[in-house]
Amino acid sequence: MTKALRRRVVGNVDWVVCPGCRGMIYGKRLARNLQVCPDCGDHHRLTAYERIEQLFDESGVELLEVPVRSRDVLGFTDTEPYPARLAAARAATGLAEGVVVASGTIEGNSVVAAVMDFRFLGGSLGAALGELITRAAELALAERVPLLIVAASGGARMQEGAISLMQMAKTSQALGQLDDAGILTISLVTDPTYGGVAASFSTLCDVMIAEPGARLGFAGPRVIEQTIRQTLPPGFQRAEFLLDRGLIDMIRPRSAVRSTLGRLLSLGQSRPPAGMAWNSAQAAVDDTDVVVRDDTQLPPTEAWRTVQHARDLERPTTLDYLSGAFEDFEELHGDRLGSDCAAIVGGLARLAGTPVMVIGHQKGRTLAELAARNYGMPIPGGYRKAARLMRMAAKLTLPVITLVDTPGAYPGIEAEECGQAVAIAENLRLMAALPVPVISVVTGEGGSGGALALAVADEVLMCSHAVYSVISPEGCAAILWNDPRMAPTAAAALHLDARALLRLGIVDGVVLEPEGGSQADQLLAVARVRTALVAAVRRLSGLDGAALVARRRARFRSFGTAAVTATAPEEDNAEEDDADWTTQ
């Protein structure tokens, strides 16, 4: 970054009053702390130049001079003419408009950034600002590098009337073109971000990060309170409020934003063209020592004992696999529809150097964690979160890995009201059509449709003491025997163990657990699953999207064909020549 820009950033303010705690802070101390109050943690607003200096690598950053300026197309005058307001904003900020476009690197990863500055007419969305956001997106598209948007706005620019309104559609369209091209987009939400900016480009990005306490919403609190005549709840529209409701992916303090962006940019960079290996420099991994593909090589097991093994709370959880089998995991939250189900965890990670999207059920171990995670039983928002992450993986051409361990989908009133069946069905359809490698591992319980909603995969693996079934043994016993005590008998009848499922072709391979089960040696269990996953990704990486989808659809199309006899309509006495109607 140039020395001239540094001088503009630092300034000469000796003392600052914190708007959060009203305390006095020495200016240089505040600058060293990235303009965050060291006493109360309030994140003070930054100028666009300050933000660029904090985020970008020092060498190579370029501020793009775009000859775009707003003008008074309506002849608008409120307490003063619009041209006078524009002139005052330009004089006060040194900016031509309320956004600065920059190109460079963050921790070595190329990026184009559109950084808004609230000082310029409250970051309001007018024609010039919309044009600059759009041009930043078009530059990212032309250079095929990720786009970062740093949002700060009070809403649309009223002085430009409907022209301002149209910028919402214009910028959203530009983000859509980046989606079509498979280019990562990231939004950094700062305080405040409202109105037309919140309802367009700032919330359409693949990943949404917010600073602590940042406000985001369509209508401002005063407008809402005046309209509905209600008192708003504490923390309303703050980042923490939004994260709980699945509307943003994460909250990061300013000190951690740069490193978080660096990881996300490296994980979401463009992948090799279809048909090329994800990491051609590395040889294929041999998983024959840890994965069994012939059911005769597995010993018979007692079904009910296997169920108990699968439910053991000491078995590795999805979070254990994420910390032990993957690197650089960055959890992403929420379905963007108002829910963040804790029973499903997912995000970007690296597997043996390859960026992947990982999604899994999370039960927990302690009573408190089990309750917080709903015992691993997802609500509809969990499946919709998974769907959002899978669509992102498809856009970025990243392999999808799912870790299945659930008693089933949550069977509650709230879940039914929010469309549990629909959420599961939509995941089944989506997974069948994902144009990227999909690998699923049943690590513990594979309970009914709640498990299958994460397991429509190119390769389905199963740990040797895991179970996978259409219903729990207890549920089966209660329905068919009218006696829950018949659960052990039902378990045997359901053939829910790994050996039986491998014989039926439901799973493609069984990952051998350590003696005594995965709970006996978690580190070894995680290492074996990792080996199996690396091998599966490498095997599937040579197939293009169309081949993967066709292969996956054929796999699931085949299930049950050997168990049915179909008769042609009105042809009960068909000749032998018509034997193709019957499958054996």
> Which among 274, 580, 327 is positioned nearest to 437, based on CA atoms?
274
**Which pTM was predicted?**
0.90
pLDDT digits (tens, 9 = 90+) for 389-400: 999 999 999 999
pLDDT digits (tens, 9 = 90+) for 56-100: 999 889 998 888 888 888 989 888 999 999 999 999 999 999 999
Contact 316, 324 (CB under 8 A): yes
**pLDDT value for 60:** 81
**pLDDT value for 287:** 83
pLDDT digits (tens, 9 = 90+) for 140-172: 999 999 999 999 999 999 999 999 999 999 999
Q: Following CA atoms 138, 139, 142, 143 in sequence, which dihedral angle do they give, to the nearest 10 degrees? A: -150
pLDDT digits (tens, 9 = 90+) for 349-391: 999 999 999 999 999 999 999 999 999 999 999 999 999 999 9
> Which among 437, 431, 441, 400 is positioned nearest to 317, based on CA atoms?
441
Average pLDDT, the chain: 90
Contact 144, 109 (CB under 8 A): no
DSSP annotation of 370: H
pLDDT digits (tens, 9 = 90+) for 549-558: 999 999 999 9
Segment holding 9, helix H or strand E: helix 3-10
- For domain 291-563, the CATH architecture is Alpha-Beta Complex (3.90)
Contact 517, 465 (CB under 8 A): yes
Segment holding 354, helix H or strand E: strand 354-361
Q: Could you give the residue range(s) of every CATH 3.90.226.10 domain in the chain?
A: 45-267, 291-563
540 or 562, higher pLDDT: 540
Superfamily for domain range 45-267: 2-enoyl-CoA Hydratase; Chain A, domain 1 (3.90.226.10)
